[in-house]
C-alpha cells in the first residue's frame, strides 16, 4: 500500500492569505496542498487558475496538488506545468482523450491523476487502466458532488475505492469531500490513502490535531 497522505483543501482557507495558509498547513503536518480549480462551467463555482499557482509557487515549497474541475482540461495543462504545479488531476467526464492527457501531464513533469464524480462508475476508466496505468499516479474518487466545500460524505462511494484498491494495490487513491475524523475510517478501510479535507481542517481550533487524526486512521489500515 502506498504512503498515507493528508491534503488540506485550501478552498476552506482564506484566499486573501493563501500563501500563509499553505505554509501553515505544511508546518502543521500536511503532505499535499489541495488546490481546487473550478471554471464555473464543469462545476457551478469559480476559483483560481494557473496565475495563482504561479504566484504560490514562489511562496511555498509544498506539493501543489491541483484538482481541475474544469471543462477541457487539456487547455490548461501547459499553463499549470509552467506555473509549477506538482500534481494535475482532471475529470474523466471532462476529457475527450484521457490517455493522451495523462501522457502529456507526465511528460511535463507533473504527476497525473484522474477523478470520477459520484455518478460516474469506475468502469469509465477502463481505457485509462488498459492503456496507461503505469503513467497514472492517482485515482480521485469524489465523495461529494464537486463544486463546494462543507458537504456530507457519501459513504456509498467506498465501493468504488474498494474496486480500485482490489485491482491496483500500489496506486494512490484520493477521496475528496466530507472527510473528517468521523468519516475517515470508512475511507481508510476501503483502501484510500490520500485524504482531502477542507472544512474539517480549517474549521478546527487545532488543525494539527485533525491532520494527525486523519493520518493515524490511514496508518491503521496501511
Ligand X SMILES: O=C(CO)[C@@H](O)[C@H](O)COP(=O)(O)O
Residues binding ligand X (CB under 6 A): 9, 11-12, 34, 36, 67, 144, 146-151, 176-179, 196-200
For residue 71, say whether it is annotated as part of any ligand binding site: no
CA-only gyration radius of the chain, Å = 16
CA distance to 115, 148, 180, 192, 213, per residue, from 185 (Å): 21, 22, 9, 10, 10
Whether residue 188 contacts residue 180, with contact meaning beta carbons closer than 8 Å, is answered with no
For residue 199, say whether it is annotated as part of any ligand binding site: yes
Q: Which residues are catalytic?
A: 36, 176
Shorter beta-carbon distance to ligand X: residue 132 or 139: 139
Q: How far is the CB of 107 from ligand X (least distance, A)?
A: 26
Give every CB contact of residue 216 below 8 A, 6+ residues apart in sequence: none
Count Cβ atoms within 10 A of the Cβ of residue 134 and give its class: 0-12 exposed, 13-18 middle, 19 or more buried: exposed
Q: How far is the CB of 201 from ligand X (least distance, A)?
A: 8
Whether residue 124 contacts residue 91, with contact meaning beta carbons closer than 8 Å, is answered with no
Q: How far is the CB of 7 from ligand X (least distance, A)?
A: 9
For residue 168, say whether it is annotated as part of any ligand binding site: no
For residue 182, say whether it is annotated as part of any ligand binding site: no
Shorter beta-carbon distance to ligand X: residue 2 or 118: 118
Shorter beta-carbon distance to ligand X: residue 62 or 147: 147
CA distance to 1, 3, 162, per residue, from 92 (Å): 24, 25, 19
For residue 34, say whether it is annotated as part of any ligand binding site: yes
Q: How far is the CB of 24 from ligand X (least distance, A)?
A: 17
Count Cβ atoms within 10 A of the Cβ of residue 87 and give its class: 0-12 exposed, 13-18 middle, 19 or more buried: buried
Q: Which residue in the shown chain puts its C-beta closest to ligand X?
A: 198
Shorter beta-carbon distance to ligand X: residue 132 or 188: 188
What one-character-per-residue DSSP string does 158-202 give?
HHHHHHHHHH-TTSEEEEESS-STTTHHHHHHHT--EEEESHHHH
Annotated binding site for a divalent metal cation: 34, 36, 67, 176
- Binding-site members are 9, 34, 36, 67, 147-150, 176, 178, 198-199
Amino acid at each position: 500500500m502506498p504512503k498515507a497522505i493528508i491534503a488540506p483543501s485550501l478552498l476552506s482557507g482564506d484566499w486573501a492569505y493563501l500563501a500563509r495558509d499553505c505554509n501553515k498547513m505544511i508546518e502543521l503536518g500536511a503532505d499535499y496542498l489541495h488546490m481546487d480549480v473550478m471554471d464555473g462551467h464543469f462545476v457551478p463555482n469559480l476559483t483560481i487558475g494557473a496565475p495563482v499557482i504561479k504566484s504560490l509557487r514562489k511562496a511555498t515549497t509544498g506539493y501543489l496538488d491541483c484538482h481541475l474541475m474544469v471543462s477541457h482540461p487539456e487547455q490548461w495543462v501547459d499553463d499549470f506545468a509552467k506555473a509549477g504545479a506538482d500534481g494535475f488531476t482532471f475529470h474523466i467526464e471532462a476529457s475527450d482523450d484521457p490517455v493522451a492527457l495523462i501522457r502529456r501531464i507526465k511528460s511535463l513533469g507533473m504527476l497525473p491523476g484522474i477523478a470520477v464524480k459520484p455518478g460516474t462508475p469506475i468502469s469509465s476508466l477502463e481505457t485509462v487502466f488498459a492503456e496507461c496505468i503505469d503513467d497514472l499516479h492517482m485515482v480521485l474518487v469524489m465523495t461529494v458532488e464537486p463544486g463546494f466545500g462543507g458537504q456530507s460524505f457519501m459513504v456509498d462511494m467506498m465501493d468504488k475505492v474498494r474496486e480500485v484498491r482490489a485491482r491496483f494495490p500500489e496506486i494512490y487513491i484520493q477521496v475528496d469531500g466530507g472527510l473528517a475524523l468521523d468519516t475517515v475510517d470508512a475511507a481508510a478501510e476501503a483502501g484510500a490513502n490520500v485524504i482531502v479535507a477542507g472544512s474539517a481542517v480549517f474549521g478546527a481550533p487545532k488543525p494539527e490535531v485533525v491532520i494527525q487524526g486523519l493520518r493515524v486512521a490511514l496508518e491503521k489500515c496501511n
